[in-house]
Amino acid sequence: MTEEKNTAGWNFDNSYARLPEPFFTRMSLNPVRSPQVVLLNEPLAASLGLNAKELGGEYGAEVFAGNRVPEGAEPIAQAYAGHQFGHFTMLGDGRALLLGEQIAPNGERYDIQLKGSGKTPYSRRGDGRAALGPMLREFIISEAMTGLGIPTTRSLAVTATGEPIYRETELPGAVLTRVAASHLRVGTFQYAAQWCTADELRTLADYAIGRHYPEAASADNPYRAFLDAVIKRQAELIARWQLVGFIHGVMNTDNMAISGETIDYGPCAFMDAYDPATVFSSIDTGGRYAFGNQPHIAQWNLARFAETLLPLLHEVEEQAVKLAETAISKFADLYRNFWLAGMRAKLGMFNKEPEDEALIHDLLGLMQVHKADYTNTFLALTFDDTRPGVSALVETAAFGRWREQWQTRLGKQSEDWEASKALMRQKNPALIPRNHQVEEALDAAVNHGDLRVMESLHTAVADPFAHSPEQMTYASPAPPSACQYQTFCGT
Ligand code: AMP
Ligand code: MG
């Protein structure tokens, strides 16, 4: 066993499994027939101190499919609750196992989770399994988010199980090995507030503070500092989603991480033409999680989080409610400031001018009216050229006038155009993982066993600010026939 640790590089600690009993269930494994690693994220493995060579082979397949417990791991399923589309319910890891926390060479602690690893006591309905396509999809989109510099859980490997799973049709099964700062969710706190003792809730909060917000521990009111810090991180996270046109698709409170990472890639997708009403998820019929609604929903989720902390915020309930309300009311300004700062940078602005916000909204308004591609509009401005999906916009007189106003605005700062252009290159990605390209890569991988399309896409999205000629081949929005793109839950 010691030999195994030395060669694969596992360095597990299991701090979550030392929390009080109600927070998890210890699990034995649900082995699968013939596991095979389909994709391994070698740079990520290296940064975790893991041996990619070892993990790409038979041993890795066994560990990643949940056939073998790696040295030092203590598999558990985590308990949590959550508001799903506004309705509160008990949830938990219904198809995932936390193997433990890998302590990386840089000293950081990362959850290693197997998603699609079989039934748990929290499964209720469902087979506890996942299909190859959606796991590859989470891999590519989470790695694209990493490339974009947006906090996110990551994908270490996708492992085919060699077993079919049954949805509308028979599909090949797979397990995703997910890496996260932690899997603590707003829903974990909702679970504690609803079903655990006051002491257990406090223990959970202290654990989260220790793991993600250690500076809050020394504040006058550590739980208030914790709440403020979570709100701030979420405000920044959502702003960064909005700046790249990312739509999470299922912002239930169980899918909001306390760490501030993007988590649970289900029916998510990137927007092509700018429209705040964009929804891709087939189950989001009311548009609750539409692009333009994401900041509002984040604030709603954070209000649910704040409610769970009331007993810790102040011993007098009325005071606690006041503290929570004050904290939540700051979200809108925090979000707006992160977003404005990001938009200014996308438009090459270094300083602040009073007209900036109106100028930005004017551009977005024009983009919406002319159905301009969001990503490519910013690229056309950066490189002063034309791009796929923007011609209907840039040919209008209104856009010409807007561009003049923008140039006048840039003239008010001391930096020259070259400096603005350099900033815009750093802030406007050359590409996003477009839905039709992701689908093409998934089709090749799942239906033809060809991983090359996926690997090329992975390489391209991993460094979106390179602005390399190869990346230009990924710049086109979907042809109009593919515009009714839909994503499906039950992934
Ligand atoms: P999600 O929509 O991925 O956030 O999942 C919501 C809840 O459903 C979580 O508690 C999952 O563990 C559970 N779940 C999703 N898919 C399955 C499945 N195939 N089998 C059992 N539970 C599942
Ligand atoms: Mg979830």
Pull the structure tokens for residue 306. 């704040």
| CA–CA gap between residue 331 and residue 233 (Å, rounded) | 10
Residue 489 pLDDT:
56
Atom of ligand 1 nearest to the CA of 91: 10
Pull the structure tokens for residue 345. 């940078």
Instruction: Work out the pLDDT band at 5, boundaries 50, 70, 90.
Output: very low
| Residue 245: pLDDT over 60 | yes
| CA–CA gap between residue 34 and residue 383 (Å, rounded) | 50
Cβ of residue 266 lying under 6 Å from some atom of ligand 1: yes
Percentage, residues of the chain above pLDDT 90: 95
How many CB atoms are located within 10 Å of the residue 406 CB? 18
Least confident of 74-88, 213-227, 476-490: 476-490
CA of 125 to the centre of ligand 1 (A): 9
256: left (phi over 0), alpha (psi -120 to 50) or beta: beta
pLDDT of 359-416, one tens digit each? 999 999 999 999 999 999 999 999 999 999 999 999 999 999 999 999 999 999 999 9
β-pairing, 36-40 vs 130-131, is unpaired
The mean predicted confidence, pLDDT, of the chain is 96
Cβ of residue 249 lying under 6 Å from some atom of ligand 1: no
pLDDT of 428-470, one tens digit each? 999 999 999 999 999 999 999 999 999 999 999 999 999 999 9
Pull the structure tokens for residue 111. 């959850």
Of all protein residues, the one whose alpha carbon is nearest to atom 22 of ligand 1 is 94
| CA–CA gap between residue 88 and residue 290 (Å, rounded) | 20
Query: Positive or negative CA dihedral for 285, 288, 290, 292?
Result: positive
- The residue among 288, 196, 164, 295 whose CA lies nearest residue 238 is 295
Q: What residue ranges in 116-193 does DSSP mark as E strands?
A: 130-131, 154-166, 170-180
Closest ligand relative to 267 C-alpha: 1
- The residue among 349, 341, 415 whose CA lies nearest residue 382 is 349
Angle between helices 331-346 and 294-313 (to 10 degrees): 140
Yes or no: say if 110 and 118 are a contact pair by the CB < 8 Å rule.
no
CA of 397 to the centre of ligand 1 (A): 50
Residue 486 pLDDT:
83
Atom of ligand 1 nearest to the CA of 254: 4
| CA–CA gap between residue 327 and residue 305 (Å, rounded) | 11
CA of 190 to the centre of ligand 1 (A): 17
* Backbone phi and psi for residue 58, each to the nearest 5 degrees, phi listed first: -65, -40
Least confident of 53-57, 242-246, 486-490: 486-490
Percentage, residues of the chain above pLDDT 70: 97
CA of 84 to the centre of ligand 2 (A): 9
Residues pairing with 88 in the sheet: 83
| Residue 1: pLDDT over 50 | no
* Backbone phi and psi for residue 84, each to the nearest 5 degrees, phi listed first: -100, 115
Of all protein residues, the one whose alpha carbon is nearest to atom 13 of ligand 1 is 94
254 in active site: yes
CA of 490 to the centre of ligand 1 (A): 8
Cβ of residue 123 lying under 6 Å from some atom of ligand 1: yes
Cβ of residue 264 lying under 6 Å from some atom of ligand 1: yes
Compute the average pLDDT of residues 112-140. 97
- DSSP at 103: E
| Residue 358: pLDDT over 70 | yes
- The residue among 138, 3, 115 whose CA lies nearest residue 59 is 3
Helix residue spans in 270-330 (DSSP H): 294-313, 317-329
CA of 254 to the centre of ligand 2 (A): 6
Residue 56 pLDDT:
95
DSSP secondary structure of 320-387: HHHHHHHHHHTHHHHHHHHHHHHHHHHTT--S--TTHHHHHHHHHHHHHHTT-BHHHHHHHHHHTS--
Yes or no: say if 373 and 390 are a contact pair by the CB < 8 Å rule.
yes
Choice from 78, 85, 91, 127 to test ligand 1 binding pocket (greatest atom count within 8 A of CB) = 91
| CA–CA gap between residue 123 and residue 233 (Å, rounded) | 30
Of all protein residues, the one whose alpha carbon is nearest to atom 12 of ligand 1 is 94
Total count of residues recorded for the chain: 491
Catalytic residue among 254, 264, 272, 284: 254
Residue 479 pLDDT:
78
Choice from 98, 123, 141 to test ligand 1 binding pocket (greatest atom count within 8 A of CB) = 123
| CA–CA gap between residue 197 and residue 217 (Å, rounded) | 21
Residue 483 pLDDT:
59
Please report, as a single letter, which amino acid is at residue 399: F
- The residue among 386, 376, 381, 384 whose CA lies nearest residue 359 is 381
